Chain A
Amino acid sequence: MNKTKNEDWLFEISPKKSALEINFKELWHYRDLLMLFVKRDIVTFYKQTVLGPIWFIIQPLLTSVIQFIIFSKIANIPSDGVPYFLFVLAGNILWFYFSDCLKAVSETFTANQNIFGKVYFPRVIMPIKVVFSNLVKFSIQFSFFIIVLIYYINKGYDISPSLLILITPVLLIITAMLAMGVGMIISSLTVKYRDLNFVITFGISLFMYITPIVYPTSLVLEKINPKYHILVYLNPLTGILDFFKYAFLGSGSINLSYLLYSLFFGIVVLFLGVLFFNRTEKSFIDVI
C-alpha cells in the first residue's frame, strides 16, 4: 500500500513465491547445516554396529553374489565377456546410488514433517543432503569395486579400463539429477496422495529389471526387433550404465547421444522436481 518510502526489508513472507526460485545466497548460508546433516546420516548409520562402515560394502557384495549365482550360474546370462560378478557389481553400485537417493528424496516431506513443522531452513537442503550422504556411501562401495577390479585384472582377465573413467563424476551428477528430480516430484505428491508411497517401493524394484544391471544391454538388443531398440534407451539410466561399464570394464558399446539424452532427461526432471517441490514446501505442513 504505502510504498512511498522504499524500505529495505531483509525478507518478506507472503503467500506467493515464484515456483522456480531457489535462493542460492540463503542456501550458501546454510552450507554448514548441509554438511552436518550429511555427517549425521553417515555417523548414525553405523552407530552401535560392530562392522561399522563395512555394512556399506556388504549390501552390494551380497546382492552381487546372489545375482551371480542365479543369473550367471543358473540362468546363464552373458556379461559381454567380463567376469559376471564384476559386471553385476559395477551395475549394482551405480543402481544403489540411484535407488537409495530416489527412495530417500521421495520421503523428504513425510520423513521430516517434525523438523519442518518446527523450524525454517531451506527445505531443498534435505534432498541435496541425501545426494551427498549417498555419495559418501557410493565412494566406499566404489573403492570396493576398484579393489575387486584390480583383483580380476591381476588374475589375467581381459578387462581394459579406458580413459573414459574420467567422466565418472559426470555420470554421477546425471544420476543424482535424475534421482533428485523424480524423488522431489514424488515427495511433493505424497504429501497429499499417500498412495504414491506404496507405488514407489515396488516401482523401484520393478524398474531395476528394465534397467540393464543383471543383463547386458547387448543381450536385449539381440533379442528384440531393431524397431524397438529405441525403447531400451528411453530409460535414462541405460546410457549412464553403459558408459560406466564401458569405461571401467571395456565391455559393451557406447553412444554419446544416449548419454546426452540422459543429461537432457535429468535436467528436465530436476526442473520439474524443483517446481513441484517449491509449490509444496510453502504449506505442506497444513496438509500432511
Chain B
Amino acid sequence: MSDIILKVENLSKQYRLGKIGTGTLSHDLNRWWHTVRGKEDPYLKVGEVNDRSSMSNNQYVWALKDINFEVQQGEVLGIIGKNGAGKSTLLKILSRVTSPTVGSVKAKGRIASLLEVGTGFHPEMTGRENIFLNGAILGMTKKEIASKLDEIIDFSGCKRYIDTPVKRYSSGMTVRLAFAVAAHLEPEILVVDEVLAVGDAEFQKKAIGKMQDISKTDGRTVLFVSHNMAAVKSLCTKGIVLEHGGITFSGTSDDAINYYLENSYKKSEIKLSERIDRKGNQKLSILNIFVKNKDEVVVGEMHSGEYYKLIFEYQKQKDIDPKQLTIVLQFKNENDELVTTIATDELGTKFSEVKEKGTIEVEIPRLQFREGRYSMQYMISEKLSFNTPHQVVDYLQDAFTLTVIRGDYWHSGVLNRPKGFIQEASIQLL
C-alpha cells in the first residue's frame, strides 16, 4: 500500500483576462446556450498557455494546465517558479479557495493553508479572542485551541499583551501572534505560501525551525511555495518547478532549484532586442550587451581578477537630455540574491551627449566575482526636474548572464575558490 497522501490529476484552471464585468452577461448566455444544447463550453477551448510577457488578443488564458503530481506522507514539497507561473493559483486550488476548471485534487487528510497569516483577525478583539477566532477559521476546534493556548501565547512572545485589543499591537506583534496560531495547527497536510517573509530575523528562524519540526518530528506533509531558494533548500525534500502554468521539472529539491536557476539564465540567451518584458518609456533602448577583455576581444566567460568592459549598445528613439540620465546595474548570484550594484549617481558620472546609436561602456578594472553565474539587470532612468521622481527609460531583468570562472585574482599562482565576492583584505599571523 502506498502512502500517497495527496494526488493532483490533470489539474487546469482557466482565467479570463481583461475587464471582467463588461460582456460577461453575453458570454454567460452563450455558455448557457451551448450547455442547453449539450455542447461543450465554447470558452473552454480557446485558452492559451500562460505567458505573461507575450501579448495576446485571446481573452482566456490557462493559469494552470495539466498539472499532475503526487505527494507522499511526510514529504516537504517545494513549489518554485517565477511570478505568474501559476504558483498562487495552484495554492488557491489546494486550499479550496477557488475550484479548478478541469481535473481534481484528492487528499487523505485535512489540508490547512497559510496563504496569509492572521486571516480574520479583528482589531477590536483581544489577542486571546483572536487566537480562538483565527484558529477556528484555520479549522481547529475550540477544544484544540484551548489545549494549546499557553503554547501559542509562549511561541508568539506576546504574553503581556494577550488581553489587549490587537489594534494596539505593533504590526510585528500581530504577525507573531498570527504565525503562532498557524504553527500550532495540526493538519495532515499544510500548505504554506511565502508567509515566512515576515517578522524579524529571530522570528523567521523560529518559524523555519517550527516548519521543520512539523515535517520531521510529526511526519506531516508540507507544501511550501517560495522565491527564497535558501529556504526551499533547507526545508524541502522534493521540488517541482512551475513555468507558464505547467510543471517543467519534478524531482529532489536540489535538482529542482538547479533546474529553475538554469532556466532563468536561459532567458538571457534570447536576443536582447527581441525581449518584450522590458519596462520604461524607451526613449533610449539597449539593443545588445556583450563583454570585451583587455585585448578588445568579445568573450563569453570572464576570469576573476581580470580587466573587462561591459558594452551596452543603445539606440535613441526620442530626444533625451544626457545630463539627466542615471544608469544602474545590479548583479545577482545563483540564489537570486543581490550581490552588488554599479550606479552612475553613486560614481558621480555625468553624460554629455547621447548619439542616435552608440555604446555605453562600463569598465571593470579587476573583476571581483568568484566562480559562478551572475545575472545582471539594468535600469536607465531620467530625472526631469529636481523634485520629480526618476522616470524609467529602459529597465530589463535578467538582461545578461556573466559566467565567471576561477582566476588568479591575487596573482599568487593559486586560483580562487568558487562562489561569492572577493574581499580586499590582508591576513597576518602574529
Contact = CB atoms under 8 A, between A and B. Distances in A.
Interface of A: 1, 7-15, 17, 29-30, 32-33, 35-37, 39-40, 43-44, 47-48, 114-121, 192-194, 282-283, 285-287
27 contacts: A9-B106, A9-B108, A10-B108, A13-B93, A13-B106, A17-B99, A32-B136, A32-B142, A32-B143, A33-B133, A43-B125, A43-B129, A115-B137, A117-B97, A118-B95, A118-B113, A118-B115, A118-B116, A119-B97, A119-B113, A120-B111, A120-B113, A282-B99, A285-B92, A286-B16, A287-B20, A287-B24
Interface residues of B, number: 48
A115 B15 CA distance: 21
A194 B120 CA distance: 24
Contacts of B132: 36
B87 to A, nearest CB: 15
Contacts of B21: 192, 194
Given A13-B105, A118-B115, A285 B141 contact: no
Interface string B97-134: 11111111111111101011001101011000100110
A40 B103 contact: no
A132 to B, nearest CB: 15
Contacts of B20: 287
A282 B98 contact: yes
A135 to B, nearest CB: 19
B205 interface: no
Would you list the 3 A-B pairs with minimal beta carbon distance, nearest first?
Answer: A120-B96, A33-B136, A14-B104
Contacts of A39: 129
A11 to B, nearest CB: 6
Interface string B274-310: 0000000000000000000000000000000000000
Nearest to A281: B99
Interface string B143-160: 100000000000000000
Contacts of B109: 10
Interface of B: 7, 9, 15-16, 20-21, 24-25, 28, 92-111, 113, 115-116, 119-120, 122, 124-125, 129, 132-133, 136-139, 141-143, 165
Contacts of B116: 118-119
A286 B165 CA distance: 33
B138 A119 contact: yes
Nearest to A46: B124
A9 B9 CA distance: 13
Contacts of B108: 7-10
Contacts of B107: 9-13
A15 B102 contact: yes
A95 to B, nearest CB: 28
B97 A40 contact: no
B99 A119 contact: no
Contacts of B136: 30, 32-33, 36
B130 to A, nearest CB: 9
Nearest to A1: B9
Given A120-B95, A120-B113, A12 B104 contact: yes
A122 to B, nearest CB: 10
Given A12-B105, A120-B113, A44 B124 contact: yes
A119 B133 contact: no
A60 B122 CA distance: 27
Contact of A44 (B15, B28, B111, B125): B125
Contact of B97 (A30, A33, A48, A118): A118
A30 B20 CA distance: 33
B129 to A, nearest CB: 7
A120 B137 CA distance: 8
A270 B25 CA distance: 25
A123 B137 CA distance: 11
Given A10-B110, A13-B99, A282-B99, A119 B115 contact: yes
B133 A286 contact: no
A53 to B, nearest CB: 15
A50 B10 CA distance: 57
A118 B103 CA distance: 21
Contacts of B98: 282-283, 285-286
Contacts of B99: 13-15, 17, 282-283
Nearest to A120: B96
Nearest to A14: B104
Residue with the greatest number of chain B CB neighbours at <10 A, chosen from A15, A194, A285: A15
